[in-house]
């Protein structure tokens, strides 16, 4: 038989814009089922925490699962930001000094996504782990206290449930609310070192730094008051 003729195929090169469109969160698979949760959990345990089952502690298993759930949340968060960027709606900026957000892991599963909670529980059972035991490992976020802090967190939950473009701005306290003890009849305060093991739920942005001024003196001039001789400290955005 005679050979088949060669057919020339013209390939149009991609533009820079078309190439960049391949960098997209939409092409990343989410946590669709139990098998995917097990796979993502294993990946974070070995490649994020750099541990295996021979040396991993219950806290390591909690961190690996927290990163797994966080992947699911981050994917949705990025798509939400893309939607806001395209539609450019009005935004609500909620500024407060306290946000009693409780535990992020339990809040993400129990109150926000029952299906994800059931899948995580089944995946942990298949791996020989107890989901409720891992939930208890998380420290309470030292970001707020009292009724006003809880109210601020509830406002943010309500705004998110309504699908409004809202952001909460507060202070990331390194030591949170202090703990109180009674020793020899005296009240003793201790710092709440809630970040001593790190926090898998936050993403630091060291490229964004805000200058905060302390001390100094106020000098009154014809142009108005000026704040001089201050001590400037740069704080990272988280």
The reply to whether 191 and 158 lie within a common domain is yes
Domain that holds residue 224: 204-238
H-state helical runs in the chain: 16-20, 34-43, 58-87, 104-106, 114-126, 131-135, 146-161
SS3 (DSSP) at 75? helix
Q: What is the pLDDT of residue 119?
A: 87
The reply to whether 212 and 188 lie within a common domain is no
The reply to whether 69 and 119 lie within a common domain is yes
The reply to whether 189 and 222 lie within a common domain is no
The reply to whether 161 and 235 lie within a common domain is no
Q: What is the pLDDT of residue 29?
A: 63
Q: What is the pLDDT of residue 2?
A: 62
The reply to whether 74 and 120 lie within a common domain is yes
The reply to whether 158 and 225 lie within a common domain is no
DSSP string, 123-177: HHHHTT--HHHHHTTSPPPTT--HHHHHHHHHHHHHHHHTT--EEEE----SS-S
Q: What is the pLDDT of residue 222?
A: 87
Q: What is the pLDDT of residue 90?
A: 94
CA distance 99 to 169: 9
> Average pLDDT by consecutive 10-residue portion of the chain (238 residues)?
65 74 69 85 96 96 94 89 92 92 82 78 90 91 86 92 91 84 90 91 88 91 90 84
| 204 CB-side CA count, 13 A | 8
Please check whether residue 1 lies inside any domain of the structure: no
108: CATH: 3.40.50.2000
The reply to whether 160 and 218 lie within a common domain is no
The reply to whether 75 and 181 lie within a common domain is yes
The reply to whether 157 and 213 lie within a common domain is no
Q: What is the pLDDT of residue 137?
A: 94
The reply to whether 175 and 213 lie within a common domain is no
Q: What is the pLDDT of residue 44?
A: 96
CA distance 126 to 66: 17
């Amino acid at each position: 038989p005679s050979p088949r003729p060669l057919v020339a195929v013209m390939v149009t090169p991609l533009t820079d814009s078309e190439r960049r469109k391949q960098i997209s969160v939409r092409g990343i698979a989410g946590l669709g089922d139990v098998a995917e949760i097990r796979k993502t959990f294993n990946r974070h345990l070995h490649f994020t925490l750099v541990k295996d089952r021979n040396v991993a502690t219950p806290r390591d298993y909690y961190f690996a699962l927290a990163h797994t759930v966080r992947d699911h949340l981050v994917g949705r968060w990025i798509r939400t930001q893309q939607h806001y960027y395209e539609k450019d709606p009005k935004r609500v900026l909620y500024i407060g000094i306290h946000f009693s957000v409780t535990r992020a892991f339990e809040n993400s599963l129990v109150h926000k996504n029952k299906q994800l909670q059931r899948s995580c529980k089944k995946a942990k059972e298949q791996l020989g782990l107890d989901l409720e035991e891992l939930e208890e490992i998380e420290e309470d976020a030292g970001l707020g206290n009292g009724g006003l802090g809880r109210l601020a967190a509830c406002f943010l939950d309500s705004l998110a449930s309504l699908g409004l473009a809202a952001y909460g701005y507060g202070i990331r306290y390194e030591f949170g609310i202090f703990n109180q003890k009674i020793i020899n009849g005296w009240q003793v305060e201790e710092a709440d070192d809630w970040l001593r093991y790190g926090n898998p739920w936050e993403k630091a942005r060291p490229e964004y730094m805000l200058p905060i001024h302390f001390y100094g003196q106020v000098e009154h001039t014809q142009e108005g008051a000026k704040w001089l001789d201050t001590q400037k400290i740069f704080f990272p955005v988280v």
